[in-house]
Amino acid sequence: MYFIKEFQRLKKEEQKLIGWSAKRELAKINYHIHTDAIKQNLIPVELTSKQMSIVYASEADVLNVALYGITAKQWREANPDLKGNMRDYSSINELICLSNMENINAVLINENISQHDRLLKLNTIAIQQIRILTEVENRKLLK
């Protein structure tokens, strides 16, 4: 009986690790599309690497604010005891939405839409997508 219980516990731990890894991979799907749009459209050649990192962080925070309502810095300040970042603690629905938003933001950047207008559009999209994903999840749970 002990061996069976220990095997079940180990399998449960393994599933947690696989789930975490899958969630992180999902978060990376459109990352390169997003960062390439930033590089091609928002970063002048004259910027130093420190200045470039500020532009990338600013654009990451556009997505964070649109989806979570706070910047990465605000999340870290509110959660000093947690390791990693807010994306490490996101639900699968949030990560799906975030991945979609990276792609959409890349398109909007390529169309030279201002950061303010992109934030407003992305927030509307995030609200809609989270609502839809939650409804789909709830329908599956009811079956």
Cα dist from 105 to 22, 31, 61, 136, whole Å: 23, 11, 12, 24
**Angle value at C-alpha 21, between 63 and 137, nearest 5 degrees:** 65
Q: Domain of 37?
A: 2-142
Of residues 37 and 11, more confidently modeled: 37
Residue 81 has pLDDT above 60, yes or no: yes
What is the number of structural domains in the chain? 1
Per-position DSSP letters for 80-133, written without gaps between them: TTS-S-GGGG--HHHHHHHHHHHHHHHHHHHTT--HHHHHHHHHHHHHHHHHHH
**Which pTM does this prediction carry?**
0.77
Question: Is pLDDT above 80 for 16?
Answer: no
Tell me the per-residue pLDDT of 112-127, one tens digit each, with 9 for 90 and over. 999 999 999 999 999 9
